Amino acid sequence: MNPDSLAQWLNGYGEAWMSLDPRRATALFASDAIFTETPFSDPIRGRDAIGVYWAAMARIQDQVEFAYEILSVTPNMGIAQWWASFVRTTPDSQNVQIKLDGIAVIGLDSQNLCISFHQWWHAEETRLENV
């Protein structure tokens, strides 16, 4: 892995998330990839399960924005800080603006597919006035 390959992968990740396209997101992962949403969640194992996760996210998010900064790259892993925001509609039909600030540790294979993705993030939620 090098800074260019990690940036290419993160650009694809951001584009998939902002377009709310689970197929695009899933295509970024190796068939046996491990995706860990938070340190306390069970790892999601395999491209198909990661696709199910992304499809669920796409159903509850809107107006996604994503940015990142690469912090470190070694031959085996990359570390990036990332920021995202989106609007989520709650079960009581209220719109909530979500802002996330996170760190990801990412492993890529020789085809630039993700084999391991572990992240830590914090969220800020603001209830929006419904129009």
Q: Cβ distance 14 to 24 under 8 Å?
A: no
Task: Provide the β-strand partners of residue 118.
Answer: 36, 105
Nearest to 45 by CA among 56, 55, 36: 36
Q: What is the DSSP letter of 25?
A: H
pLDDT at 53: 95
- Sequence ranges of the domains in the chain: 3-127
Query: What is the arithmetic mean of pLDDT over 90-117?
Result: 92
pLDDT at 21: 94
Nearest to 82 by CA among 105, 62, 58: 105
pLDDT at 130: 60
CATH topology of domain 3-127: Nuclear Transport Factor 2; Chain: A, (3.10.450)
Q: Is the pLDDT of residue 108 over 80?
A: yes
Record the pTM: 0.91
Instruction: Give the model confidence (pLDDT) of 4-23 as tens digits.
Output: 999 999 999 999 999 999 99
Query: What is the arithmetic mean of pLDDT over 61-68?
Result: 95
Query: What is the arithmetic mean of pLDDT over 65-93?
Result: 92
